[in-house]
Amino acid sequence: MIAIGGNSLIRAGQKGTIPEQFANARLTTEQIAVLAEEGCRIVITHGNGPQVGSQLLRSEAGSSQTYTLPLDVCVAMTQGEIGYIIQTSLQSIFRERKISIPVTSLITQVLVDKHDPAFQNPTKPIGPFYSKEVAQKKQDELNWNIIEDAARGYRRVVPSPKPLEVIEQDIILDCLERGIIVIASGGGGIPVTFENGTMVGVEAVIDKDRASALLAIELNIERFIISTEVEKVYLNFKKSNQKAIDMISLDEAKRYLDEGHFLEGSMKPKIEAAIEFLESGGEEVIITNPEHLADAIKGKTGTHIIGRIQR
């Protein structure tokens, strides 16, 4: 499994135009194509943070002229948008290299518990920053939960419940067994629950790394690759004594996590997802940036986390 960060498609300093996203997707899919040529069966997941924020902005801006979009629908829309970008980029490379491997994108729902404590304590920031006055108006009119970011303004927060089950996991497995590369569980999946036997979407965002780890576990995947902005994970990141990690054991990863080396909203959820995957029987987690995916899998770079290390 290769989990692509939403920020991998929109790099720092970019506006996030569609041509920019296609160019960035090309960098990642060129690496994925190398793995496909070598016979790897591949599931691709992806984040959607910047893209879902843009969808919410469009919905707000056009609310006087068209219907507004609930968050679960925005997640579904970005699954289609990003899936299309990744899928066509990979198909184009396959065509250039005369590789005959089918690729598909799958709208994916993820079951959550409507009684999850996260619904009582929303913490996941989404959408744009607002002034205090605008934020208060949104809170009063739309019943949003708002938090203050002292440096940048006010922002809406939503629940981030624990993913329990990927609804389409059997379909994804069937595709893998047929040799199809699947793009699934975009943005952590569309959060759904059951009400009186009916499946309904909920206003929440599932952490994409946790959802990816869950899907990898459900599919009995051996290797979980997390593509992010840095080539390797660091201890004491951005401090004078920062140190790149080449290979660590599961126990070491847990110890470094407890010691506070990994920041919330940055590397911490990735390490937590890696730990969950390995504790459930996965063999290896690799964390690196898009440009080094193929080399990282060959052991030339990246951070490798495994259950046990033979010293």
Q: Which residues are catalytic?
A: 6-7, 124, 208, 270
Computed over its alpha carbons, how large is the radius of gyration of the chain? 19
* Cβ proximity of 159 and 203 under 8 Å: yes
Strand pairing class (165-166; 109-111) = antiparallel
From the CB of residue 123, how many other CB atoms can be counted at a distance below 10 Å?
13
* Residues 6+ positions from 57 with CB-CB distance below 8 Å: 127, 128
* Structure letter (DSSP) for residue 120: G
- Sign of the C-alpha dihedral, residues 36, 42, 47, 51? positive
Token representation of residue 109: 């729902």
